[in-house]
Amino acid sequence: MKNIEESRARLHGLFNITMTPFNDDGSINFEGLSRNALRVIEQGFNGLLIGGTYGEFPALSTDERASVFRHVMATVGDTVPVMLCTAHSNPCVVRELTELAGDLGGIPMIMAPYVSEVTDNQIVEFFREMAPISKTGALIYNAPGTGITLSPTLLEQLSDIQGIVALKQGDLSPGSIDQISGRLKGKVRLFCASDLAFLGPMAAGFDGISSTNSGAFPELIQKSYRAIESGDARIASELHRQWYEFRALARRFGQPQTVKAAMNMRGFDGGRVRKPLRDLDNKEMEKTRIEVNRLLGSGPINSLN
Look at residue 254 and give its three-state secondary structure.
coil
Instruction: Examine the pLDDT at 301 and tell me if it is beyond 70.
Output: no
pLDDT by residue (tens digit) across 36-93? 999 999 999 999 999 999 999 999 999 999 999 999 999 999 999 999 999 999 999 9
pTM assigned to the model: 0.95
β pairing state of 208-211 and 107-111:
unpaired
Q: Say which residue, 117 or 302, is predicted with more confidence.
A: 117
CB burial of residue 27 (10 Å; 0-12, 13-18, 19+):
exposed
Using CB atoms within 10 Å of the CB of residue 26, give its burial: 0 to 12 exposed, 13 to 18 middle, 19+ buried.
exposed
The string of pLDDT tens digits covering residues 105-148 is 999 999 999 888 999 999 999 999 999 999 999 999 999 988 89
- The candidate with the shortest Cα–Cα distance to 266, out of 300, 211, 301, 216, is 216
Strand, coil or helix: 149:
coil
C-alpha–C-alpha distance, residues 97 and 95, integer Å = 6
CA distance 17 to 15: 6
For 168-222, how does the pLDDT look when each residue is reduced to its tens digit (9 = 90+)? Answer: 999 999 999 999 999 999 999 999 999 988 899 999 999 999 999 999 999 999 9
Domains of the chain from N-terminus onward: 4-230 (3.20.20.70)
Say if residue 290's pLDDT is above 80.
yes
